[in-house]
Amino acid sequence: MFMPAHPLTPLACAAALLAAGTTLAQDSMPADTPALQTVVISASADASASGLSKAYAGGQVARGGRLGLLGNVDMMDAPFNATSYTQQLLQDQQSRSVADVLQNDPGVRVTRGFGNYQEMYMIRGFAANSDDLAYNGLYGILPRQYVATELLERVEVFRGANAFLNGAAPGGGGIGGSINLLPKRAGNAPVTALTVGIETGGQRYAAADIGRRFGPDNRAGIRVNAVRRDGDTAIEGEGRELSLASVGVDWNGGRYRLSADAGYQDHRLAAARPSVRVGAGLPVPAAPGGDHNFAQPWTHSNERDTFGTLRGELDLAPGTVAWAALGARSGNESNVLGAPTVTTASGGATVYRFDNEREDTVRTGELGIRTALRTGSIGHSISATATGFHSDSRNAYAMSDFGAGVLRTDLYAPVALPAPAATYFVGGRLDAPLTTSKTILSSYAVADTLALADDRVLFTVGLRHQRIKDYSYDYNTGAQNAAYDMSRNTPVAAVVFKPVKHVSLYANYVEGLQKGLTASGAGVTNVGETFAPTVSRQKEIGVKVDTGRVGFSAALFTTGQPLAAVVEGIYGPSGEQRNRGLELSVFGQPLRGLRVLGGLTLLDAAQRRTTGGLADGNEPIGVPRTQLNLNADWAVRGVAGLAVDGRVAYTSRQLLDAANLQRVPSWTRADIGLRYATRIGERTVTLRARVDNVFDRNYWASAGGASNSGYLVLGTPRTLTVSGTLDF
């Protein structure tokens, strides 16, 4: 049901919560309560009094993480399935990007955006692109194509629909889950770390990480990171260049806390291996060698972003806290692309040139308040928040001839072709792109978590009112083509029951929300017609076990996402994609010196209730039925400071086309790592070596998924990475 703006404004919500929380808190406050309390500093990525959730046994994951407006929640109190990967794991595995970190997650598979190099993540079989990454709870702040891990303290993966918790994602994802990235902060212990390294192909690496606390009671903190990568990669002829600088500052004033982050990232790819499309009716080609490159030498992808956030938190009374956050990003992308399309069973392919320029300006913010109180024997944690998001995107493109004059090459014996003129089909001016789209999101939400039966039962209910405004403009004239302004209420209901100590049973009903689609395409008679926001409904039950040393979880879920299709020239809703599955996970330190991390995801995905039943029962593109990840890390006994780790990842076959005629084979990959930490004088030195794809398997890692399109991404070859870190 679509509703107009609700009379209960965010200001009214906040005022009501403030009055209730402050009054009840003051009633229970002893008269001699001191005005100021001892300041305790810990690593805190969100300027909160509690700081980050503590690391679980083994240090690879945390005990909990951020659940949108609910704040940081312990895993045993959360009625959802989520994992928070720590900086220790990122460092031990020499992770370069968010995609590297998520190679550990059995519920996630990594692919790319359609026709570009944007990292994209399939969570529970639904796409979430890097536009939908959150940075400390704010959408749209981070670079779109690639996010370097040197920025990050933690990578939090939430599995499941989450429009209520975080608001609708601006990139249209978030149906199967979301990813929140936490920035680094200065902790109690000073940090001065210098790292240098090299990997197969000659890629060189240098990084500095410096953190300090200072001032009275160490209230002020600063964390600075700088990174440089440069050189060729393990893929023939491919070059990569990364320059990164970031600073995070914070101030703990006891009853108030402030933090700010600023970052700059310049990421450049030269002749990077593109994705591959396969013509209709052709079999999926055998995967070439992992180091094989079918990119044209004139292709490149450059991305430059400047971004920042400001966050503050104020204790209004014991148990009552208010917060505010602001963020902004300015981004520039310049691409010359040439993805091949296989046109013959023997690997013959065509390629055309596609240039595009993009400039993004993003502003976003959040206000919130949370209070803890009791009514009789029932405890309450009541939260209210209001959010806003505004993006302006300027775009222009130009293409070479993709008809009779298309270039011809071969997937297995690529031909280096001269760059054609990109003048065949042009939209806008590459040197001065106009605004082509604007997205404005606003929402407000209220939630209450009730604690019953001596806190053995936690029941959460809430509602978010989301408004989505989207505008499109002509590439050449800047004239408005279409406008979209609709709203939707998104509820949540969830419960946690703790029958015995260290065991939590949970269930939830939650919805995902995407902006409505606009009719487009050749032969469509209702071009420009806009549709209501699409609502995805999820039901989930699960169990979590915490032994203190090892954690286990199991979840059963089902999620339905509305689909669209063209029938007799009319574009409109057509059935749904229903993904249901089982998730099993394990993490922790079962034995001294042995750490484990991994799990299994089983997916049953199908299309249902399609128009005329023509696609009923077909599997969606790029959704494997089985995903398995197992990682073990062992501290070698008898050799102080020496540790080895190994990881195995398995992905079952995938479908490349909607008709389910093109099948991508399953694949298995193994990775191994070795590290040694020792002291030289007063300094700690850590040496690390890692081999990804140790058996040099050739495989198609994914079958696309963006915009319900199929395209192949070749897996990386065997890659050796060696680095050394000096801690002062």
Q: What is the pLDDT of residue 181?
A: 96
Give the pLDDT band of residue 608 (cuts 50, 70, 90): confident
- Per-residue pLDDT at 535 exceeds 70: yes
Start-to-end Cα distance in the chain: 60
Give the pLDDT band of residue 42 (cuts 50, 70, 90): low
Spatial distance between the Cα atoms of 83 and 79, rounded to a whole number of angstroms = 13
Q: Which of 666, 9, 19 is nearest to 287 (CA)?
A: 666
Q: What is the pLDDT of residue 714?
A: 97
Distant-in-sequence, close-in-space partners of 28: CB < 8 Å, separation ≥ 6:
318
Give the pLDDT band of residue 522 (cuts 50, 70, 90): low
Q: What is the pLDDT of residue 712?
A: 96
- Per-residue pLDDT at 246 exceeds 60: yes
Spatial distance between the Cα atoms of 315 and 42, rounded to a whole number of angstroms = 17
SS3 130: helix
- Per-residue pLDDT at 449 exceeds 80: yes
| Domains defined along the chain, listed by start | 61-727 (2.40.170.20)
Give the pLDDT band of residue 13 (cuts 50, 70, 90): very low
Helices H, strands E: what count in the chain? 4, 41
The tens digit of pLDDT for each residue in 378-421 reads 999 999 999 999 999 999 999 999 988 899 999 999 999 999 99
Spatial distance between the Cα atoms of 689 and 239, rounded to a whole number of angstroms = 21
Residues of the chain with pLDDT > 90: what percent? 78
Spatial distance between the Cα atoms of 242 and 246, rounded to a whole number of angstroms = 13
Spatial distance between the Cα atoms of 512 and 161, rounded to a whole number of angstroms = 5
The least confident of 23-32, 276-285, 298-307, 604-613 is 23-32
The least confident of 397-406, 414-423, 478-487, 627-636 is 478-487
Q: What is the mean pLDDT of the chain?
A: 90
Q: Phi, psi at residue 3, to the nearest 5°?
A: -130, 150
**Bigger pLDDT: 45 vs 362:** 362
Q: Angle at the Cα of 696 (from 693 to 700), degrees rounded to 5?
A: 80
For 664, the token pair is: 């991508």
The tens digit of pLDDT for each residue in 166-187 reads 999 988 888 899 999 999 999 8
The side-by-side arrangement of strands in the sheet containing 119-123 is 108-112, 119-123, 126-129
Is residue 442 within 8 A of residue 385, CB to CB? The reply is no
Question: Residue 70's CB: how many other CB atoms inside 10 A?
Answer: 23
Measured between alpha carbons, how far is residue 618 from residues 461, 576, 610, 615 in Å? Answer: 35, 11, 10, 6
Q: What is the pLDDT of residue 309?
A: 96
The least confident of 23-32, 437-446, 571-580, 698-707 is 23-32
- Per-residue pLDDT at 229 exceeds 50: yes
Q: What is the pLDDT of residue 32?
A: 38
Average pLDDT over every residue of 562-589: 86
Is residue 494 within 8 A of residue 511, CB to CB? The reply is no
- Per-residue pLDDT at 31 exceeds 60: no
Q: What is the pLDDT of residue 16?
A: 42
The tens digit of pLDDT for each residue in 123-166 reads 999 988 888 899 999 999 999 999 999 999 999 999 999 899 99
The tens digit of pLDDT for each residue in 87-98 reads 999 999 999 999
Q: What is the pLDDT of residue 138?
A: 95
Q: What is the pLDDT of residue 20?
A: 39
Distant-in-sequence, close-in-space partners of 517: CB < 8 Å, separation ≥ 6:
530, 531, 534, 564, 571
- Per-residue pLDDT at 17 exceeds 80: no
Q: What is the pLDDT of residue 129?
A: 82
Strand 220-232, strand 239-252: pairing: antiparallel
- Per-residue pLDDT at 197 exceeds 50: yes
Measured between alpha carbons, how far is residue 726 from residues 248, 616, 686 in Å? Answer: 22, 58, 7
For residues 325-354, b (16+ Cβ closer than 10 Å) or e, as one string? Answer: bbbbbebebbbbbbbbbbbeeebbbbbbbb
Q: What is the pLDDT of residue 525?
A: 73
**Does an H or E element contain 544, and which?**
strand 534-546
For 497, the token pair is: 């029951």
Q: Which residue has the tokens 């703990």?
A: 252
Average pLDDT over every residue of 34-51: 54
- Per-residue pLDDT at 45 exceeds 90: no
- Per-residue pLDDT at 28 exceeds 90: no
- Per-residue pLDDT at 530 exceeds 80: no
Q: What is the pLDDT of residue 22?
A: 39
Give the pLDDT band of residue 4 (cuts 50, 70, 90): very low
Where residue 481 falls (left for φ over 0; alpha for ψ -120 to 50; beta otherwise) is alpha
Spatial distance between the Cα atoms of 297 and 299, rounded to a whole number of angstroms = 6
Is residue 606 within 8 A of residue 563, CB to CB? The reply is no
Average pLDDT over every residue of 457-464: 98
SS3 15: helix
The DSSP string of 331-382 is EEEEEEE---EE-STT-EEEE--EEEEEEEEEEEEEEEEEEEEEETTEEEEE
The tens digit of pLDDT for each residue in 275-326 reads 999 999 999 999 999 999 999 999 999 999 999 999 999 999 999 999 999 9
Sign of CA dihedral 492, 497, 502, 503: negative
Query: Could you tell me which residues are beta bridge partners of residue 224?
Result: 210, 247
Q: Phi, psi at residue 485, to the nearest 5°?
A: -150, 100
- Per-residue pLDDT at 76 exceeds 60: yes
Spatial distance between the Cα atoms of 186 and 722, rounded to a whole number of angstroms = 27
Model-wide pTM > 0.75 = yes
Is residue 114 within 8 A of residue 341, CB to CB? The reply is no
- Per-residue pLDDT at 36 exceeds 60: no
Q: What is the pLDDT of residue 43?
A: 53
The DSSP call for residue 68 is G
Give the pLDDT band of residue 704 (cuts 50, 70, 90): confident
Strands (DSSP E) found in 38-118: 64-66, 72-74, 81-86, 108-112
